[in-house]
Structure 1
Amino acid sequence: MSTFIVKASKIVTVSNTGTIVDGAMLIKDGKIADLGLAEEIKVKYGDSIPSVDYQDSVITPGLIDCHTHLLEFAPSSLYPITKETQILAAKAILLKSLASGITALGEQICGSPLLSSEISTLKQSIRDFPIDFSFATTSISIGLETLLHFTSVTGSLAVAREKLVDPEIVKEIANHSEFGGENVFINATPANFTKDLVPNAGEIIYSQEELNRIVSIFHSMNKKIGTHVAGKEGIEMALNAQFDVLHHAHGITKEQIERVSTQGVKIVATPLGGTHLPPNTIDEVINMIHLGILVAISSDGYLPPHENTVSFPKVMEGLIGPDSLMAIAHPYMKQLIACGYNENNALSLITSTPAKILEKDHLFGSLEIGKDANFLVAEGVPGLEIVDIEKIKAVYFRGEKMIQRS
């Protein structure tokens, strides 16, 4: 890989360094080898190393969407595909994500009832794509009139509910899972269906004892475990069972937010929806952050916006995915600034915190010496000052420029 220096009017590191005005980074072998004021970097390395000056632009870490469904469900939702073209459609979606500044994804593998592939096949199919992937293998319950259950390790055919708690199946799911994603659906999901088709959306699928056993299996294998959950009762069960990550957590109470803080549980907020209840309000998310809870904003792509979701800075219709992550996060980031937080704190919602959810914050999510050179160049701070992907001028992945806009 090439060695070069990249400069800009501002580098938002999302680290203890904060924002560097007139900053520069030395990139070597796909890593950040040095970082600081442009003048200091120039003194250190002179003119012997090629440099790229982005002048008035802003450099930030690459964006991270830690809760997506892009390989199994999105292709058939967005394109008229067959099994033979599933991966081709997925790569089209991934390229659009990359062009939107996304350099890492947390992908859920649930066992699609439509077009599914073996876990190893899905992972292998995108191994060379310039996005860092983390996979959460799961079981899923869909709230149709007759509840349907699937798992990532049993394929595209529905299974009996008993299979969801079978210790051997749980162990296999845990073995393949790479981070605490939607490993367990405590509540049946609407799964993008209209309300009339999913009368059982929100139904609690497990007993407390069953959840306790499932979490115990994951933890005994040194695996983090997350859950799709909404509603006071389901969230209480998740906290009692000691889940590591709550995905959605719609309908959470103030008392439960305080308990989440005490237990050190992380939350993946999905402003578009994703459960049978309305998404978390901006005030709820800000309160979580005030209490020191690590909160990531995610698209849960691809979803139609919930009818009670917050207002976004541009009209978004149809199914929405990672390419709209900046717009999805914008209202929350703006409110953080209004509450006295800085741009690094705000940007952490879609960079460093999701990297922690994915258990890869030692590799990326912030701009620090030794980390992967995953960064973007834009006309403003993503999600805060800009939401239009056309204002992202370049996207680098491990030191290589993958996207370039004039």
Structure 2
Amino acid sequence: MINTYLIHAGKLVTVSELGTIYDGGMVIKDGKIADVGDISTLQKQFPNLPIKDFSDYVVTPSLVDCHTHLLEFAPSSLYPITEKTHFQAGRAILLHALTSGITALGEQICGHPACNFAIDDYRNVVKDVPLDISFAATSISIGFKELAHFTSVTKSRAVRHTDLSDSQLVNEIAKQNDYPGENLFINATPANFTADEVPRAGEIIYTLDELKRIVAIYHLHGKQIGVHVAGEEGIEMTLDAGIDVLHHAHGITDEQINRAKHQGTKIVATPMGGTHLEPNSPENIFKLVKQNIEVSIATDAYLPPYPNVDWLPFTDQTLQGPDAFMKIAQPGMKLLHENGLDENEVLAMLTANPAAILGKGDQFGKLEPGMDANFLVTDGVPGLEVVDVDEVKRVYFRGDLVVDRMSD
């Protein structure tokens, strides 16, 4: 049978109700997972299928990073490019993500002052890339001395503060939006600028009434809304307004965690940074998960690591990208594992949970029949046991081998 084969894994971590299967197997057919079980049973059922033998390795779902800035802001931050070469740099960065074990991304499109690209330009440039990319259409406020506001709809043209809550503009952004990413910046962002360049980072941009009206517009379109937010005051406003997904939520209080739990609010944790406040610590992630809040971990890359926190493995503020994903996730994953969560539950923060944020939880993020065959062959459980991308030996996307370190 064409494009049909059997995977033999020494350890198959499914991140599903099937849990971990030692000497596990998966039948892959036409880019989908057709069956999952123990290898001996599957070999008897499918005696004629070719076998890919990974009996000395761990096989897991591939990684999902649901909060990135790889295509819009990273190219000019990393390379001396022009608008003409912007997308060439972006595609190189996407390949870097793929080689880091990531096969699905949530990319924010905020409006870049130096590049007059529309969200459809970004959609077009990734059509033939072996990655599943969802785009969050957003507006952004940058905390310069004079606040700067941009939107995905107005592209490189700056807008006024008052425009951010204009119903016509918000409607258009909501229509273009794929998933609840950083659709609004409740606080002005430091982005990847130094502190002296963004003295107004953290300033609250919206009133509660404005937020409620914007949330109503998104929900009227049948879409969830996510926000960039940090600090007790801003987080309280988002909970009052009925925001669906909080990105960062740095500085969230115990009382607010309890409230988020009861409201069904999801949180995308960014342990590397991303706001004006100290990022999500392992202890913070532990509290969120123990309250049964659905937590995803994301890189917010490219980003300089927040300085002087003991859970980050970096020695300076060099911009970090997709290859840091497992490194920044490991401290929180280990703490949860040490306190009783199994490897499937902790790995879900890098696979199934962010897939659900993207609205694609029934498509990838788990290894079970009917899912896309997006999986990794590794030396251990990603994030929990391994953090070096060289230990990700193979990456499969929809059944095709797209990264191969076994032949090195």
- In 2, Cα distance between equivalents of 1:195 and 1:23: 50
Q: CA deviation at 1:311?
A: 2.3
Q: CA deviation at 1:49?
A: 1.2
Match of 2:20 in 1: 19
Match of 1:172 in 2: 172
Superposition pairs for residues 294-373 of structure 1, below 5 Å? 294-313=294-313, 318-373=318-373
Equivalent residue letter for 1:137 = A
Superposition pairs for residues 177-216 of structure 1, below 5 Å? 177-216=177-216
Q: 2:261–2:292: 8 Å Cα contact kept in structure 1?
A: yes
Equivalent residue letter for 1:352 = A
Number of residue pairs matched by the alignment: 405
- In 2, Cα distance between equivalents of 1:213 and 1:118: 25
Match of 1:73 in 2: 73
Match of 1:244 in 2: 244
- In 2, Cα distance between equivalents of 1:255 and 1:362: 32
Match of 1:38 in 2: 39
Deviations 1:279-313 (A, max 9, x none): 12211211110111000110000001001434235
Equivalent residue letter for 1:366 = K
Q: CA deviation at 1:352?
A: 0.6
Q: CA deviation at 1:238?
A: 0.4
Equivalent residue letter for 1:13 = T
- In 2, Cα distance between equivalents of 1:314 and 1:61: 27
Q: 2:5–2:29: 8 Å Cα contact kept in structure 1?
A: yes
Equivalent residue letter for 2:272 = L
Q: SS where residue 84 of structure 1 aligns?
A: helix
Q: CA deviation at 1:81?
A: 0.5
Deviations 1:77-114 (A, max 9, x none): 01111111111101111101101100100000000113
Higher mean C-alpha displacement, 313-322 vs 223-232:
313-322
The TM-score with structure 2 as length reference comes to 0.98
Match of 1:379 in 2: 379
- In 2, Cα distance between equivalents of 1:395 and 1:199: 42
Name the CA shift for 1:370/1:403 in 2 (closer, same or farther; >3 Å): same
Equivalent residue letter for 2:343 = E
Q: CA deviation at 1:316?
A: 6.9
Q: SS where residue 8 of structure 1 aligns?
A: strand
Match of 2:389 in 1: 389
Q: CA deviation at 1:18?
A: 0.3
Match of 1:8 in 2: 9
Q: CA deviation at 1:314?
A: 6.4
Name the CA shift for 1:217/1:202 in 2 (closer, same or farther; >3 Å): same
Q: 1:64–1:355: 8 Å Cα contact kept in structure 2?
A: yes
- Quote the sequence identity (%): 56
Superposition pairs for residues 92-111 of structure 1, below 5 Å? 92-111=92-111
Q: SS where residue 28 of structure 2 aligns?
A: strand
Q: 1:75–1:89: 8 Å Cα contact kept in structure 2?
A: yes
Gaps of 5+ in 1: none
Name the CA shift for 1:305/1:219 in 2 (closer, same or farther; >3 Å): same
Q: 1:165–1:214: 8 Å Cα contact kept in structure 2?
A: yes
Q: SS where residue 162 of structure 2 aligns?
A: helix
Q: 1:230–1:251: 8 Å Cα contact kept in structure 2?
A: yes
Q: CA deviation at 1:324?
A: 1.2
Q: 1:76–1:115: 8 Å Cα contact kept in structure 2?
A: no
Q: 2:143–2:201: 8 Å Cα contact kept in structure 1?
A: yes
- In 2, Cα distance between equivalents of 1:316 and 1:27: 43
Superposition pairs for residues 273-284 of structure 1, below 5 Å? 273-284=273-284
Equivalent residue letter for 1:15 = S
Q: CA deviation at 1:55?
A: 1.8
Deviations 1:211-250 (A, max 9, x none): 0000000001000100000010000000001000000001
Gaps of 5+ in 2: none
Superposition pairs for residues 69-148 of structure 1, below 5 Å? 69-148=69-148
- In 1, Cα distance between equivalents of 2:240 and 2:305: 31
Higher mean C-alpha displacement, 146-155 vs 303-312:
303-312
Q: SS where residue 57 of structure 1 aligns?
A: strand
- In 2, Cα distance between equivalents of 1:206 and 1:386: 41
Q: 2:272–2:312: 8 Å Cα contact kept in structure 1?
A: no
- In 1, Cα distance between equivalents of 2:310 and 2:175: 37
Q: 1:313–1:330: 8 Å Cα contact kept in structure 2?
A: no
Name the CA shift for 1:392/1:23 in 2 (closer, same or farther; >3 Å): same
- In 2, Cα distance between equivalents of 1:274 and 1:41: 46
Q: 2:305–2:312: 8 Å Cα contact kept in structure 1?
A: no
Superposition pairs for residues 217-232 of structure 1, below 5 Å? 217-232=217-232
Equivalent residue letter for 1:256 = Q
- In 2, Cα distance between equivalents of 1:41 and 1:309: 47
Q: SS where residue 355 of structure 1 aligns?
A: helix
Equivalent residue letter for 2:225 = I
Structure 1 segments (4+ residues) deviating >2 Å: 308-317
Equivalent residue letter for 1:82 = T
Q: SS where residue 56 of structure 2 aligns?
A: coil
Q: 1:273–1:309: 8 Å Cα contact kept in structure 2?
A: no
Higher mean C-alpha displacement, 305-314 vs 181-190:
305-314
Q: 1:314–1:327: 8 Å Cα contact kept in structure 2?
A: no
Match of 1:268 in 2: 268
- In 1, Cα distance between equivalents of 2:316 and 2:289: 26
Q: 1:271–1:310: 8 Å Cα contact kept in structure 2?
A: no
Q: CA deviation at 1:277?
A: 0.6
- In 2, Cα distance between equivalents of 1:162 and 1:369: 49
Name the CA shift for 1:369/1:310 in 2 (closer, same or farther; >3 Å): farther
Q: SS where residue 268 of structure 1 aligns?
A: strand
